[in-house]
Structure 1
C-alpha cells in the first residue's frame, strides 16, 4: 500500500513525463500548419519514423503506463481528499484555492475521456485499421487527421478538452514543483510564470490545430 507521499510523488513524476511528452507531440504536430501538400508528405514521414523506431516504441510503453498510473493515482487521491473534506470545513480552504485546484479530478476525467476518443480515432485506426497509403508508401495518417478534424463536433470537443488540459497543467506543474521540494520562495513568481506560459502555449497550440485544419480543409 502506497503512502500519501508516495502517491503524490508518483503523480508528480508521471505528470512531468506526460507534460514532457506533450511538448514533443506538440512540436511534431506543428507540421500540420505547413502548406497542405508539404504537410501531407512530412507528417506521414514523421509518423512512419515514429512507428518504426525501437526507442520511440519503448517510450510509447512508458507513455501508456504513465497515463494509466496517473489516472488511477489521481482517482485514489481525489477519493481520499473527498472523504477527508470534513476536516477542512472550517478553515476557508475553498476561498484560498483556485477552482481548478479544487476540481483536478473533474478536469482529469474530462481529459481521460478525450484521450479515449483521441486514441480510438487516430492511434487505434493507424495501428490496427487499414488507413490509405500515400505516394511514398507510408500509412496516410495525414488524410485520417484531416477527415477527423473536418467534423465540427470533434473540433469543439478538442478545443474544450484543451481548455481543461490548460487548467490541469497550470495546477499540476505548480503542485509537482512543490512536491519535488524545488519551490523556493525566491523563485515562486518565476516558477508560476513559466508553468502558466507552458500550459497556455501547449494548450492553445494544440487547440489551433483542428481549427486550422477545419477551415483550410473545408
Structure 2
C-alpha cells in the first residue's frame, strides 16, 4: 500500500478529504444560488433559461458539474467512514456525559443532518436534473435563440405547497449542517488561530444563515406569485 493510500485511509486523511470536498461544495452553493436567484427576475423565466443553457453547454461548467457529483460522493463516503471509525474507537459511552456543554447540536448530529440532506439532494436531482437531461421539455424562444424551458418545471414544482415546505425545511437542516461544517473545514486545514478563528466563525455563522435563507426564499416567493 502506497503512502498516498495510507494517508487517505487514515483518520487525518479522511478528515482532510472531508474538509476539501466540503469547501468545494460550499463554493458550489454560492454559484448555484447566484443562478437560482434569476428565477425571481419576473421575466417569464428568460434569465433563468439562459443560465440553464450556459450550464448545460459551457465545457468548463460541465467539468465542474462532474467534479461536483464526484465530490458529493466522496464527502458522503468519507463521512460514513469517519462515523464508523469514531463508533468503533469508542464503543461504550462515558458513564457521565455533558455533550451539550462541549459541542454544538449540529456537530453532534452531522451524520443525521447529512443523511437528510442526501435524501433532499436525491429528490431534487430527480425532479430537476433528471428531467432536464432525460425528460421531454417544452422550448422557449428569445432574441438569443430557442432553449429548453427549464423554468417551466421549476415553476411547476414550486407551485406545490408540499414540495415548497419540504424544500424550506431541508434548507433549515442545511443551515445547521453548514454552521458546523464551515468552521470545521478550516480547522482541519490547520487554519485555527486565535487571531483568525473568531472571524472565520462569524463568517461561517453568517454564511450558514444567509445562503440557506436565500435558497428557501426562492420557492416561497414563486409559490406566492403563482397563487
- TM above 0.5: yes
Contact 2:53 2:147 in 1 (8 A): yes
CA distance in 2, matches of 1:176, 1:28: 25
1:203 match: secondary structure:
helix
Q: Higher helix fraction: Structure 1 or Structure 2?
A: 1
1:107 aligns with 2:113: yes
1:79 match: secondary structure:
helix
Q: Deviations over 1:113-149 (max 9, x none)?
A: 0000000000000001111111231110111100001
TM-score by length of 2: 0.91
CA distance in 2, matches of 1:18, 1:195: 14
User: Equivalent of 2:191, from 171, 177, 182?
Assistant: 182
1:25 aligns with 2:32: yes
Match of residue 155 from structure 2: 146
CA distance in 2, matches of 1:216, 1:178: 43
User: Equivalent of 2:48, from 43, 47, 54?
Assistant: 43
Contact 2:106 2:180 in 1 (8 A): yes
Q: CA shift at 1:80, angstroms?
A: 1.8
| Runs of 4+ more than 6 Å apart | none
Contact 2:191 2:197 in 1 (8 A): no
CA distance in 2, matches of 1:83, 1:106: 18
Match of residue 181 from structure 2: 172
What is the aligned residue count? Answer: 216
2:147 match: secondary structure:
coil
CA RMSD, Structure 1 to Structure 2 (Å): 1.4
Match of residue 134 from structure 2: 128
CA distance in 1, matches of 2:75, 2:127: 22
TM-score by length of 1: 0.95
CA distance in 1, matches of 2:199, 2:95: 32
Q: CA shift at 1:28, angstroms?
A: 1.1
2:71 match: secondary structure:
helix
Gaps of 5+ in 1: none
1:98 aligns with 2:98: no
Match of residue 86 from structure 2: 81
1:202 aligns with 2:211: yes
